[in-house]
Amino acid sequence: MSIDPWVAAQIAGGALIAGFIQGVSGFAFGLIATSLWAWTIEPQLVVPTVIFGSFLGQIVSIQSVRKDIRAARVGPFLIGGLLGVPVGAAMLPLLNASVFRLAVGSVLVVYCSVVLLGARLPLVTRGGRAGDLLVGWAAGLMGGASALSGPPMTLWCAMRGWARDEQRSTYQSFFIVTQILTMVMYAATGVINQHSVQLFWLVGPPIMLASWAGSRWYKHLSDARFTRYLFLLLLLSGLSLVSTAVLRLLLTWVGG
């Protein structure tokens, strides 16, 4: 697959933007990159490229919170995630990506708007471990099917009332482990192929550079600012998902 230089520059630029945002927040690479790459990369190549790019950025940016990683805290999420990823990966060929993104984006827009307008975030104080496992399963399912495992994990970790470093170290550890499993499954089923690998080489360097820069900025954020930026970013991601999905559904309807 030969990539036009202008298209390659657009893809690399999207990698820089998504990588930096992931470096600051610890997530959202898939949400941002999907909306930026949807118009330049074939749909069947977007998901594996997003998974790879997010994984690479996580490896770089998790260094800023590595001292806060706790196996006991992330364990229930991982059990659920490792059960959910294979189901999601099996659903990938059957999934209507536009409808799925519209549904996820709509939930994010409504929920994050309420929180940002001043509503108190509900805190989970009982039954948290069972909830952790269930949320991990849902995130693994979404990650395997569409590379969008971030929303359930980040929202739930915020509702657990943990400090920002505890939240970030938990969901980033989860993302790294489940993304390894997802890529193994994609490679085994042929979703990752020589065209995917070509894109991996293109997006890898800008993602690593941008994620490192973003993680440096993260260190200067307070817990309150981090929480507000987190939900603002989720809101923008939701709006991006909704607008992209609606445009694709309209184009499909007009073309059909």
Q: Two tokens at 175?
A: 């993302």
- Distance between CA atoms of 79 and 76, rounded to whole angstroms? 5
**Nearest to residue 22, comparing CAs of 11, 13, 12, 33?**
33
pLDDT at residue 214 greater than cutoff 80: yes
Cα separations (Å) of 179 from 25, 31, 112? 17, 15, 26
pLDDT at residue 54 greater than cutoff 90: yes
Q: Two tokens at 177?
A: 């482990």
Q: Which class for 6: exposed (0-12), middle (13-18), buried (19 or more C-beta within 10 A)?
A: exposed
Selected residue with higher pLDDT from 231 and 9: 9
Strands, E, within the chain: which ranges? none
**Cα angle value 217/221/225 (rounded, 5°):** 130
pLDDT tens, position by position, 34-50: 777 877 787 778 888 99
Top mean pLDDT of 99-113, 136-150, 170-184 is at 170-184
**Nearest to residue 164, comparing CAs of 97, 223, 230?**
223
Mean pLDDT, to the nearest integer, of 222-249? Answer: 79
**Cα angle value 252/138/112 (rounded, 5°):** 75
pLDDT tens, position by position, 57-93: 999 999 889 899 999 999 999 999 999 999 988 887 7
Mean pLDDT, to the nearest integer, of 106-119? Answer: 74
